Amino acid sequence: MSELSQKIEQAIWIGKSLFERGKTAGASANLSFAHEEQIYITGTGTCFGTLTPEFFSVLDKSMSHRDGPPPSRELPLHMELYNKKPKVKAVIHTHSFHAVLWSCLRHENHEDVIPAWTPYLKMRLGTVGLIPYAKPGSQKLFELFGERVENSDGYLLANHGPVVGGKDLLDAFYIIEELEESARVAWALRNEGISPIHD
């Protein structure tokens, strides 16, 4: 099996795993990975639960479409990460439940909005910034994301959901899983009046 085929197979497994465990629903999520100067991203309107190799759009790094279906309309979010964070080789965006809940709250520090109730989010990712609300797929959202992408390590789009990058697909998968779990813990403890841990 070629390296590209392995990456596509892994992307399909990740998508189905997230879908089957309720971390995304319908056609609300997208993922991408880099391979030999090209970006492979799930096509617009695709469902993580039914991904096949034909559902991936292929683009060059100038966002010119090369093959496959039209790309997800949120492609510019992915490209901001690839262009501004060279170590990022894969990106995942979902609408996972607790991350969305947390993104709807008011936060004092928009560059790091999820408290360190456990050490694992900081160990695996770092800070999680909040991107102000703008309509999904809009140029305004892409501009707000681009202005803040270098201020944090992962992101919550306000009233929308998480976006993370990783050094490869599995890394991005582990990160978005940890972000959702940390948001779930944060939501459960939000009114408890206790302090997060400090290293």
Contact 58, 39 (CB under 8 A): yes
Annotated active-site residue 120? The verdict is yes
Q: Are 148 and 80 in contact (CB under 8 A)?
A: no
Cα-based distances in Å from 33 to 8, 58, 100, 119, 121: 9, 10, 23, 27, 22
Q: What angle do CA 144, 170, 104 make, to 5 degrees?
A: 35
Of the candidates 3, 20, 36, 74, the residue annotated as catalytic is 74
* Whole-angstrom distance, CA of residue 118 vs CA of residue 16: 27
74 in catalytic set:
yes
Catalytic residue among 3, 54, 111, 120: 120
Residue type, 83: N
Quick check: helix, strand or coil at residue 8? helix
The residues assigned a catalytic role are 74, 120
